Structure 1
Amino acid sequence: MLESRERASLDTEQVTALAELTERVRELNEAVVHTEVGLDEVAAVRDEVAALTARLAAARRDHPPLVGVGADGTVRHLAGPVGGVLNPIAPPVEIAVLPDGTARAEFTLNVLYEGPPGFVHGGISAMILDQLLGVAATANGTPGMTATLDMRYRRPTPHGVPLVAEGRATRTEGRKTFADARIIGPDGRTTVEATAMFVMPQDR
């Protein structure tokens, strides 16, 4: 496993600048899906994007950067696939831990995360809940790696509307931590439920 010390650490100014760039790329991604401009304009934009990509690639890191490791052992992944502020394809999910240990996020998913027309892809829901469950396990003081993730899709999860996800650790057994989570639609009904088991790695 790649040690965090082998990865670059960015300061606040760098993170802010790159996060702003990431947001513009997210907007570009959505614009590509929705555009109805002519083919000549599509080709012109394609070439401009290629040129911009070359400019950014002129100086390249070997690995994605980190901000650091928290006191609880959690590594903040700037380019993580859920909520990573430097990842243009990451769902915009910012997870907070409440005083009672519940991990909670409020977010809206756009058409980039669509599966069935009008609804979120089930794999996106699973990815978000896996991340949320991991945060809940860490908040419990028992961080670990996902060992099992069981999903129950109660009803389709709509995109383009406010959603809430929440989860918390339910019990621990030695190195194992069990946690439950769900996504709630704007009508207050649960759309997806998940149960996971996390295993704390043994010291080598």
Structure 2
Amino acid sequence: MPGARTSTHPIFTARKREPVSARRVEYLAELAAEVRRLNEAAVHTELPEDELEELTAQVRALTDRLNTVRRDLPPISGTGESGMLQQLAGPVTGVLNPIAPPCQVEFLEDGSVRTGFTLNTVYEGPPGLVHGGVSAMIMDQLLGLAANGRGVSGLTATLEMRYRRPTPLGEPLTAEARIDRVEGRRTHAVGRILNAEGKVTIEAAAVFVMPML
């Protein structure tokens, strides 16, 4: 069955990674949330240059301190039913990754997935709008999660994006994805992003292929 095939594939399994505790995740998630605030503040700050020099030294010192004891690989919380890594530091859903929004994904009874999120100016492309590459990253993640939720995941072979209208920054957005069909090792998924008015800004389609063992 597809789920069993996924769980035994070396690319997707948690080799040599011990899950971190829920308590540690809580502390690391709080740290990541503050670094997200720092990211945006660094973009918008109008502090004078002498203060920026001082603050840069402080941030450098904090970074050096965090690096004094570090793990070799990003942390995980274990594996799901399919055997795939439950990543905590992914760039879209990772609560421990300061560059992730992060998107909280909901798995629905019909097999589809959905998430609501708001992107700030760190993700800006055209003025006031989400960078197209950021939208592609989010859709690739969501489409892959839809496939994984059905136990038929794989690696992204193709990702097609149709930008229907501008995707705004600073406003609630919704992204959703579902499996279209499965053909052997190839899983076809479709999805979209909607703005606060419920209008489609982006349509996406992807093909995921399970590598041969």
TM-score (norm 1): 0.95
| CA distance in structure 2 between the aligned counterparts of 1:88 and 1:132, rounded to whole angstroms | 19
Q: Which of 63, 68, 71 matches 1:61?
A: 71
Q: Give the match for residue 180 of structure 2.
A: 170
Number of residue pairs the alignment of both structures matches? 203
Aligned to 2:162: 152
Which residue, 8, 18, 22 being the options, matches 2:32? 22
Task: Give unmatched runs, 5+ long, in structure 1.
Answer: none
Map residues 1-204 of structure 1 onto 2, 5 A cutoff: 1=11, 4-202=14-212, 204=213
Contact 1:8–1:64 (CA<8 Å) still a contact in 2? no
Contact (CA 8 Å) 1:92, 1:109: kept in 2 or not? no
Q: CA deviation at 1:72?
A: 2.0
Unaligned runs of 5+ residues in structure 2 are 1-10
Structure 1 counterpart of 2:138, which letter? I
Q: Following TM superposition, where does structure 1 have runs of at least 4 consecutive aligned residues deviating by more than 4 angstroms?
A: none
Question: For the residues of structure 2 that align with 1:36 and 1:8, how far apart are their CA atoms?
Answer: 43
C-alpha offsets along residues 83-116 of structure 1, whole Å, 9 cap, x if unaligned? 2111101122111111111110000000000000
In 1, distance between residues paired with 2:91 and 2:177?
Answer: 19
Deviations 1:54-98 (A, max 9, x none): 111111111111111111233211111112111101122111111
Question: Counterpart of 1:37 in structure 2: which amino acid?
Answer: L
> Larger deviation: 107-116 or 38-47?
38-47
Q: Alpha-carbon deviation of 1:2?
A: 8.6
CA deviation digits over 1:133-162, x for unaligned, max 9? 001111222111111111101111001000
Aligned to 2:56, the other structure's residue is in SS state helix
Whole-angstrom distance in 2 between the partners of 1:5 and 1:111: 37
TM-score, with normalisation over the residues of structure 2? 0.92
Give the aligned CA root-mean-square deviation in angstroms.
1.3
Give 2:102's aligned amino acid: P
Partner Cα separation in structure 1 for residue 39 and residue 155 of structure 2? 31
